[in-house]
Amino acid sequence: MPAKSAPEDSVILVVEDDDLVRLMAVEMLEDAGYDVVEARHADEAWLVLHQRSDIGVVFSDVDMPGTMCGVMLAERVSDAWPDIRIILTSGRQRFADRAVPDHGLFVAKPYSVSQVIDAIHRAD
């Protein structure tokens, strides 16, 4: 299995159905120096992941419209690309880090830039 690359060397995929929250997350991560792409829901994220080979982190909301939620997306990413770091977030649900697939982490909404960046670096 390939080693997970340093977050600074890869692109972060932000998956969020709320346009304003997604815009703020993307801007926050870009301001912190990361390259970011975005998806409005897990189905779109799945397509992005198949089109790009430079995604190193998936930062996804849990509750989204479509055929899969953020947890299902995380499980599928873990199976298909075990070298991608996974961070889940939600304002409605809470998860223990151990419940996030592939040793990923959970960050509760509302989150700060430092919480997200710390999770990106700590996710295995």
Residue 8: per-residue pLDDT:
60
Task: Please check the confidence at residue 2 and state whether its pLDDT lies above 80.
Answer: no
SS3 of residue 90 by DSSP: strand
User: 16: pLDDT confidence band, cut at 50, 70 and 90?
Assistant: very high
Residue 63 has pLDDT above 70, yes or no: yes
Instruction: Report the CATH superfamily, name and number, of domain 7-122.
Output: Response regulator (3.40.50.2300)
pLDDT in tens, 112-123: 999 999 999 988
Q: What residues does each domain of the chain span?
A: 7-122
SS3 for 23? Answer: helix
Residue 80 backbone zone (phi > 0: left; psi -120 to 50: alpha; other: beta): alpha
Q: What is the arithmetic mean of pLDDT over 56-82?
A: 95
* Residues 75-106: b if buried by 16+ CB within 10 A, e if exposed: bbbbeebeebbbbbbbeebebeeeebbbebbb
